[in-house]
Amino acid sequence: MTVDFALRLASAAGRVLTPDGGTVLIGKDTRLSGYMFESALEAGFVAAGVNVMLIGPLPTPGIAYMTRRFECAFGVVISASHNPYDDNGIKFFDGSGGKLSDAVEARIEAELAKPVLTCASGRLGKAVRVDRSRTDYQAFCAATLPQGRGLAGMKIVIDCANGAAYKVAPRVLADLGAEIVPIGCSPNGRNINDGCGSLHPELLQLTVPGVRAQVGLALDGDGDRLVMVDHLGRTVDGDQILYIIARARHEAGMLAGPVVGTVMSNLGLEIALGELGIPFQRAPVGDRYVLSMLRASGGVLGGETSGHILCLDKTTTGDGLVSALQVLAVMRQSGRSLAELAAPMRKFPQVLLNVKVARGFDPTDVPAVRAAIEQIERRLGKEGRVVLRASGTEPLIRVMVEGRDESETRAAATALAEVVRAAVL
């Protein structure tokens, strides 16, 4: 991504989203390149007649919330989420804090080839900084806890991945009364997601039992994912977090519609929810597909194994801090540890192998692959699953097999990967 691209993107988005003028909120994570792209977007929007609010580093879900709070026409986040610092990306939210539709994105893409628009001087937009308004987002997050319930007496280790949540997350937890041990809260522009955060919770796993904390929270670089660590130093992933929140909502009579996961969600989640009488549906991989299925089914709770959890009764998009507060609330209300709350969901061994491909193709169209899948599914029965899907970002076919016995599951996945590899040649 280049400065020229960011400038053209801002001009194109301004023409499509606010043709008669309006206001955009721009936020970012802590990457060094964020300053450069922030300036380019600001210039492109102002030149197109769009007013700009600059809020600085704030989690992606915080931008979604503040876009609504400020009644902006749309919001923009400069972030590559959980990727290394030298990657980058730009994400848009509509005025309601939701993602843009495919049709609107296509209209913006169609405008990219046009020259950058510069309005007459009298129609140029204005830019202001609203950094201090991040406290509004902190108050919003804190308000998602049940009224009158704080975190006093809890010792929490918080790992912000040296990312966008490095200020707001510790402050929210501390304001709620928790004793905080922060790690991954010293960004330098290059250390975002570097050996820390939800993708690398190893330091958190050592720190939580080391300081005798009740729980650890790991966010990713833009703050929309959450992985937790119990008092014994064991990770609790998105499937287990989803189970804990769903069970608590169900028992309180507050769970509407089905819980939505993805094709990669652990079979143990589906079985554990089924035992509680909670319907479960699977969407394709990607939070936008989970969100779409939730809206279609009337559900309010969904997510991915990676820790991208959607609590639509609290906010419009995946929010790692809000998700963490929901689990902490269950811990306080029940008096049970994170380990106890996660224990009823037994995770099935899940083996994921990648097969490189030189061209895009559907492996399930190959008779030998279909036969291998059918054979494995017959052997595993209802206690196993097979998923083949193409990566959305790399030339790979992802082969996933899940079952109760780890050695049998690994053998089946290895055999199926070899069949797919042979089909590629």
Alpha helices in 156-256 (DSSP H): 168-175, 202-210, 238-251
Looking at residues 330-339, what average pLDDT do you find?
Answer: 96
Q: Report which DSSP code applies to 99.
A: B
For the beta carbon of residue 203, count every other beta carbon within 10 angstroms.
19
Diameter over CA atoms, the chain? 72
Retrieve residue 97's tokens: 């804090």
Alpha carbon 97 to its chain's center: 15
Q: Which CA distances in Å does 373 have to 115, 216, 316, 352, 415?
A: 51, 39, 38, 15, 10
**Edge-to-edge strand list for the sheet holding 309-311:** 280-283, 259-262, 301-303, 309-311
Integer Cα distance of 332 and 410 in angstroms? 39
Retrieve residue 52's tokens: 């700009």
Q: Report which DSSP code applies to 369.
A: H
Asked whether this chain's domains 3-132 and 143-342 adopt the same fold, the reply is yes
Looking at residues 45-55, what average pLDDT do you find?
Answer: 97
At 121, is the pLDDT very low, low, confident or very high (cuts 50, 70, 90)? Answer: very high
Residues of the chain above pLDDT 70, percent: 99
At 418, is the pLDDT very low, low, confident or very high (cuts 50, 70, 90)? Answer: very high
- What is the phi-psi region of residue 291: left when phi exceeds 0, alpha when psi lies from -120 to 50, beta otherwise? alpha
Contact 57, 32 (CB under 8 A): no
**Domain residue extents for the chain:** 3-132, 143-342, 350-424
Three-state DSSP at 90 gives: strand
Show Cβ contacts of residue 378 under 8 Å, excluding neighbours closer than 6 positions. none
- Give the DSSP H/E element, type plus range, for residue 80: none
Show Cβ contacts of residue 90 under 8 Å, excluding neighbours closer than 6 positions. 1, 6, 9, 37, 41, 76, 77, 78
Three-state DSSP at 269 gives: helix
At 382, is the pLDDT very low, low, confident or very high (cuts 50, 70, 90)? Answer: confident
At 291, is the pLDDT very low, low, confident or very high (cuts 50, 70, 90)? Answer: very high
At 425, is the pLDDT very low, low, confident or very high (cuts 50, 70, 90)? Answer: confident
Show Cβ contacts of residue 421 under 8 Å, excluding neighbours closer than 6 positions. 355
Quick check: pTM over 0.75?
A: yes
Contact 31, 80 (CB under 8 A): yes
For the beta carbon of residue 229, count every other beta carbon within 10 angstroms.
27
Look at residue 147 and tell me whether its pLDDT is greater than 90: no
Which listed residue (11, 79, 81, 323) is catalytic? Answer: 81
Which residue carries 């130093």 as its tokens?
233
From the list 319, 235, 246, the residue with the least C-alpha distance to 277 is 246
Q: Read off the pLDDT of residues 128-138 as tens digits, 9 standing for 90 and up.
A: 999 999 999 99
Looking at residues 371-395, what average pLDDT do you find?
Answer: 88
Between residues 55 and 101, the one the model is more confident about:
55
> What is the SS3 string spanning 49-68?
CEEEEEEEECCHHHHHHHHH
Q: CATH code for 350-424?
A: 3.30.310.50
Annotated active-site residue 81? The verdict is: yes
Looking at residues 50-56, what average pLDDT do you find?
Answer: 98
CATH architecture for the domain at 3-132: 3-Layer(aba) Sandwich (3.40)
Integer Cα distance of 185 and 62 in angstroms? 17
Q: Read off the pLDDT of residues 208-260 as tens digits, 9 standing for 90 and up.
A: 999 999 999 999 999 999 999 999 999 999 999 999 999 999 999 999 999 99
Q: Which CA distances in Å does 317 have to 60, 273, 365?
A: 9, 23, 35
Query: Would you say the C-alpha torsion 423, 383, 341, 326 has a positive or negative sign?
Result: positive
Tell me what pLDDT residue 311 has: 97
At 13, is the pLDDT very low, low, confident or very high (cuts 50, 70, 90)? Answer: very high
From the list 319, 333, 331, 336, the residue with the least C-alpha distance to 238 is 319
Q: CATH code for 143-342?
A: 3.40.120.10
Tell me what pLDDT residue 325 has: 98
Show Cβ contacts of residue 105 under 8 Å, excluding neighbours closer than 6 positions. 92
